[in-house]
Chains A and B, each alone.
Chain A
Amino acid sequence: MENESILSDVLLKQLMAVGQVDVLVGLPTLNNAATVANVAQAIHVSFTRDLPRLRTVMINSDAGSIDGTPELIRDASFLQGDVVQTSYSLRTTHRVVTPYHGLPGKNTALQALFAAAELTQANTLVVIDPAGPATTADRVTELITPIWRSEVEFLTPRYRRHPRDGALITQLVRPLVRGVYGVEIDEPLGAEFACSGRFATHCLEQDIWSQDAATFAIDLWLRTEAIANNLQIGQIWRPATAAAAPTTLRQAVRQVLLSLIVALHAHESFWRRTNEVTRLHTWGDDHKKCPSASEWDFVTLANQARGDILEIQPLLEGILDPPVLSGLMDDLNTGDPRLDDEVWVRIVYDFLDASNRGSTGVDHLADMFVPLYMWRAARFMSLTAHETDDAAQKRLNTLCDAFQRLKPALVDGWTVEV
């Protein structure tokens, strides 16, 4: 049976013309007309001004934009306001604009970019967020350089966040990755990254691309895959940007949990034997400018979560350890959510363990997890509503410690025979 190809014939033809490159910058887009021309120009200036000797290519992999995004990139004149830099270009600069092949989704776009990187034997692959209004040539170059110089093999952005911002990251993903995988990655879900061509080829060979999890969790999977393969990882400061909100909170929580499950299953042999926490070098300038946090109606959130949890209480009995469930129920019966760190970490670990036991489907697990996360998030918001930023940040650090400290519970639960 013939496998469906990753690269369209049109893209393949363009890559034949591009040939071997040193740096491939990918721009996966979907209706990014408002920002994409500036981003594309920043990439071009980075190539011509900062990397004139390198063989470079920018590839736009578009998911079917209807706002003219590909046309904007294809037709963008890089001469406007850029005459000096362009005139110094030693080489032909390539701009490949192509719709990608297959089902829509960032994973499909990335798969095409990874395949392009392999075909062109790119040393460095960088994926840029097309919605980044603050993307400049300097920042593109900053992303490329550490990989090009072989200082690291995977580079992930780091944002200066307000401690009350991005609760899904701070309450779940960051502490879990840190505690379980033992690496202090700030943003395991970041849209931008840079990696070596070698890693891109490695990822292409993994059985992830056709899985559902890849459609919503490819960013997390990439980072955990890099960790699990002992790649030298670095972080780079990026300016804080408004978070894209393509999904509802409920959807986002579901997707993140599912992706964590997929990642843990894929990397079991790695994280089970990892005990230390590795700190990462961070490149770039930390402007220390912290955006303000968005306001949460945590009372409504808590009420909604309480109702949902009570409704699924019988189902939770098959997932949570009795003391954990008991602690949760006690908490629910108080006026304010007081779900402490230890109970929250154990809930998370019990859910992950349950996914391994297989007695409950992962989709069902994800559905049940949503109100628990909402309850925890409401609790954190409530608790820190009148605290200083430093105090709130301290709580985040404590939570990370709790995930690490209680990791043996995850390991034990994971190995329980059903």
Chain B
Amino acid sequence: MHDGGQPIDLAMLVEEHYALVYRYACRLSGSACEAEDLTQQAFLTAQRKLDQLREPERAKGWLCAIVRNAYLKELRDGNGHAAVSLDRVAEPADTENAPIDREELQAALNELPEEFRTPLILFYFEEFTYREIAERMETPVGTVMSRLARAKSHLRERLAMREPATAELPPGRTESA
């Protein structure tokens, strides 16, 4: 039950957010099949924990956090992606860009370590601010900024199909990938 005293309706929660949750799960896992499982798991968990959601306006972030937790469990069970190192990142990509191929986009996402992929997806979905991403990932905002900058750079570089012109990160903003 949330602060307004009215119970949050699970059916409405599903109705309003299932497509977003599925899309997010799909981009996170890179698999439609896994995305369906994650979506179903997320709403089953939401059903059990519904009383912990007190503010309906936070439902989206709450559900995405559940999806991410479920996905991290999957990763630990050995279903993880091979991730590239982002210790060195590209300079801003060439401005002349080819149209984006959806499969290539997903392949580029799959290459990223999860802690870079998650904020990137949330950012491009335009559903979350940096602070919300930081809150959901339990990570300082500065770390989210840094990871996003590197992940965006990787993505642009990868989609621009050009050889990375690598450069060291500025001092104080490095972190292990």
Task: Note whether A and B form a binding pair.
Answer: no
Seen from chain A, the residues whose Cβ lies within 8 Å of a Cβ on chain B are none
